[in-house]
Structure 1
Amino acid sequence: MNTNKHIAILGAGESGVGAAYLAQQQGYDVFVSDFGAIAGHYKKQLQDWGIRFEEQQHTEAEILKAVEVIKSPGIPDTAPVIKKIKESGIPVISEIEFAGRYTDAKIVGITGSNGKTTTTSLTYFILKNAGLNVGLAGNIGKSFAYQVATEKFDWYVLELSSFMLDDMFSFKADIGVLLNITPDHLDRYDYKMDNYTASKLRITQNQTADDVFIYCADDAETTKGMQGNTYKAQLLPFSIEKQITPGAYLDNDNIVINTTQEHFTMSINDLALQGKHNIYNSMASGIVAKVLELRSDTLRDSLATFKNIEHRLEFVGKISGISFINDSKATNVNSTWYALESMTSDVVLILGGVDKGNDYNMLKDLIKQKVKAIVCLGKDNQRLHEAFEDDVDIIVNTSSAATAAQTAYHLATKGDTVLLSPACASFDLFKNYEDRGDQFKAAVKEL
């Protein structure tokens, strides 16, 4: 027990409140501090559990008493309170790092700039279908710490952001998956791609020869970042450009997975998730399944029947022959590129929000090919106008999901697709990307 040991938790969202519960269970004296307002349901949980907390301030004297600080992934190292904590020599860790100390479960850790929520959900779906006692956590669902405190799973599938990985030190993924690395959150990494790449590759830290690292051999930043490094884990790459053994590759229209088990093959036309990016996602999940020696018929059935997560290329409905798709989770340019790449009709594209220093050049060719009009949804749309005014005939500004949906509907004709895939964060007009997606779906239903 850790009686009389103080632990401070910064941020009272899902991860912070879950960490607080686990820390209390482990005998710590817990103090939760949130610089903003705490959501009502989280506040009630803390009150019900008798955990001390504060909101809309950080009482430094209380925080600096801690033997360790668990911080929300959203708090940057440049925050004044974090600087003071580190100057005081107090370790700062993530909720994932903390929770990992108190479970013997095996871990599948999945990271990447794009596709990690889909791949994490798909991998969990496959493992659960195969009868494994498995939990789903990380950037998705109930916090890892809360589940460690309240459940007894043999396996966890964790979606891990770079922000989480930055504050993980002793934690180890038994199976680590890195989907891709594209520019995102560079404001947190001194605008240096090498720093961001190094953060993503922390998924491999502490791995041994008994572990597995699955990665995309077609991803330039990943392969560049891996050069010169040695990896103790078994490497299982996947590619749609070349044949790879062991690993996964594309043979005509068939995915081939070859680990220590027999070959697994499946036509990409039978996958529940369509589009080039989802071939990669399905390959990554499929390799995990074969590493665990799951039955091929179970894997095939799971890959064919999986339903995608909310807010990721989610079909909302069809009105007057116009399809509406909610891809609000596309908070960076690369996600929007993947969404456009999978479109087979003319598109009215809804873009915009908080620009994180985006480079829109990679979208230009697809926008010229597929997009007939752009509806901007944000407080400041100037950079979108500058980027695309020569590529489409119509760019209009809106400042609410309802107006954006109505405007896009009027600009579209029968057979077109209205695609909300913003390429930007949502915090200028919405609470988060879920709120943006929910408001868009509600607006479509009102049309």
Structure 2
Amino acid sequence: MDSNLIAPVGVLGFGVEGQSTFDYLVRNGVKDIVVMDKNPVNLPEVPAGVNVKVCSGESYLDGLKDCVTVVRSAGVYPMSPALFKFQMNGGLMTSQIQLFLEQTKSKKVVGVTGTLGKGSTVSMISHILTKCGVNNEIGGNFGVPALDLLKDETADRVSILELSSFQLMTLSLSPDVAVVLRVSTEHLDWHQSVEEYRDAKANLVRWQKRDGACVYLKDAAPTAKIASESPAKTKYAVSLSDDGDAVIEGATLTIDGTKLYLEDCKVRGIYQLENMAAATLACKALGIKVADAFEALKSYETLPFRMEFKGEKKGIEFFNDSYATRPDATIAATASMKRPFALILGGSEKNADFTELSQILVNERPNLKRIALIGATAQRMLESLLQAGLKVTANIFPTLEEAFADSLNIGEGGTVIMSPACASFGLFKNYKVRGQVFDKLVENV
């Protein structure tokens, strides 16, 4: 039992992560637990001898007065006045990731953060390690909650964590191998500023030991700045010029003189080379040979709804990029289009700025031939595209089905890609449901 967890222990937020924390506390013999969530709480079966107090509704934070320690779920903002007061009065606040890093028996922990590409990079690292016979598990923001990884942990395992800014924000420990992907601006509806967002990301590297390793993108200024805070001796840079440890030129990745050609891989999308470079360097830091990592990556298949190639029908290629819920994801996806293409754009309103996306689509995507817009953002996106000087056909449709039917007008030799640049709420429950609907439409072509 960890000495930091002085009871009563509060579980702040009772979604998937909070329920995992509750299970962890019960497993570790904590007898007094306070569950706090704004939403109604459905408790699992509580073992005899464990006292649980539930605080929900608007005054759910009143439960703090009954706690000595609080385990904050990632989605709960840690700088609220109530939590500040709790700590000023001697309360201890921790998190799932903090507890995992304090207690893990894994031989190495790899942490991956960034605005884009975290899920793909984490799954690539796991794929390489598995192919090379290294026992590994994925957790954190992707896969299972981190504390669930402690259940059947063995000392020969590598634990790979995908970490969001929410999870990193209060961390005072860093993983052995840290991977910092491209960092732009995100979650400003939660963070107070861009500086706070990037400062949270920096906790991934800030507390590394000298014998750790940091992998980063040299050409992305915010990412390079975060990496500069790492005390690790080993730093591996991914570069688009010729002075990195991994160099990307066109559709070729070179590390230590060994080359990987995108055309030999199952993934599509030239931007995936950044993720492949980062994954390979992370594995190199774990002792994997570059040639073995590259060989493994040739058989890696993309995650669902992330620039997923759905095949060719009636001479038209189809790509499902429903996971692209931000403009920069759509910019990256459309850069990979080789043929004339039709783009399905739009979704729910998060007040994103579409100016850069519009300018790039209009000025740097000459093979973009038509656009079908859906969702709450459709009108605003259309206005932004027209302002950027759009010359190709662009129409608004009430449903994805109608947008898809219009996109088929791209004709033989063309491509249809759904890369919405927006979240899906409103028309769909989430990006997965939107992706499933697109897949069904492709099946029926």
Smaller-chain TM-score bracket: 0.7 to 0.9
| 2:414 aligned residue | 416
Map 1:2-401; keep pairs closer than 5 Å.
Answer: 5-28=7-30, 29-36=32-39, 46-47=44-45, 52=52, 59-77=60-78, 85=86, 90-105=91-106, 106-152=108-154, 154-169=157-172, 171-190=173-192, 192-225=193-226, 229=229, 231-244=231-244, 247-250=245-248, 254-258=252-256, 264-368=258-362, 369-389=366-386, 390-401=389-400
CA contact (8 A) 1:136 1:158 kept: yes
Supply the distance in 1 between the matched residues of 2:209 and 2:68 (Cα, whole angstroms).
Answer: 29
CA deviation vs aligned residue, 1:132-173 (integer Å, no higher than 9, x gap): 11111112112111121244362111111111111322x321
Contact 1:99–1:148 under 8 Å retained in 2: yes
Name the SS of the counterpart of 1:70 in structure 2: strand
Name the counterpart of 1:429. 427
CA distance in 2, matches of 1:425, 1:83: 32
Q: How far does residue 288 in structure 1 lie from its aligned partner after superposition?
A: 1.5
**Given that residues 14 and 142 in structure 1 are in contact (C-alpha distance below 8 angstroms), is that contact kept between their aligned partners in structure 2?**
no
Q: How many residues align?
A: 432
CA deviations 1:100-149 (Å, max 9, x no partner) are 23212121001111111111100011111111111111121121111212
SS in 1 for 2:125: helix
Deviation at 1:63, TM superposition (A): 4.1
Displacement, 1:310? Answer: 0.7
Structure-1 separation of matches of 2:122 and 2:422? 22
Structure 1 distance, partners of 2:19, 2:38, is 14
Gaps of 5+ in 2: none
Question: 2:295 is paired with a residue of what secondary structure?
Answer: helix
Q: Is the 8 A contact 2:251 2:273 kept in 1?
A: no
Q: What is the CA distance between 1:205 and its match in structure 2?
A: 2.0
1:266 CA drift (Å): 3.1
Opposite residue 335 of structure 2, the aligned amino acid is E
CA distance in 1 between counterparts of 2:250 and 2:421 reads 32
Structure 1 distance, partners of 2:34, 2:444, is 45
Q: Which string of whole-angstrom CA distances, capped at 9 and with x for unpartnered residues, describes residues 216-254 of structure 1? A: 111122234556x5634421111121223xx22247865
Contact 1:114–1:180 (8 Å) recurs in 2: yes
Tell me how far 1:292 sits from its aligned partner: 1.8
Q: Which amino acid aligns with 2:67?
A: A
**What is the deviation of 1:346?**
2.2
Instruction: State the TM-score, normalized to the length of structure 2.
Output: 0.86
TM-score normalised by structure 1 residue count: 0.86
Distance in 2, Cα, partners of 1:49 & 1:70: 20
State the 1:380 CA deviation.
4.2
CA distance 1:380–1:317, shift in 2 (3 Å)? same
For the Cα contact (< 8 Å) 1:374–1:392, is it kept in 2? no
List per-residue Cα deviations over 1:37-68 (Å, max 9, x = no partner).
67xxxx58x33778856766663333432223
1:251–1:407 CA distance, 2 compared to 1 (3 A) = closer
Which of 290-299 and 415-424 deviates more?
A: 290-299
CA RMSD, Structure 1 to Structure 2 (Å): 3.0
Q: Secondary structure at the match of 1:279?
A: helix
Compute the displacement of 1:399 (Å).
Answer: 4.5
Q: How big is each residue's C-alpha offset from its partner over 1:287-327, in whole Å with a ceiling of 9 and x where there is no partner?
A: 12222222445313211110010110112344433332211
- Structure 1's unaligned 5+ residue stretches are none
Question: Per the alignment, do residues 48 and 395 of structure 1 end up closer, same or farther by CA in structure 2, a change over 3 Å counting?
Answer: farther
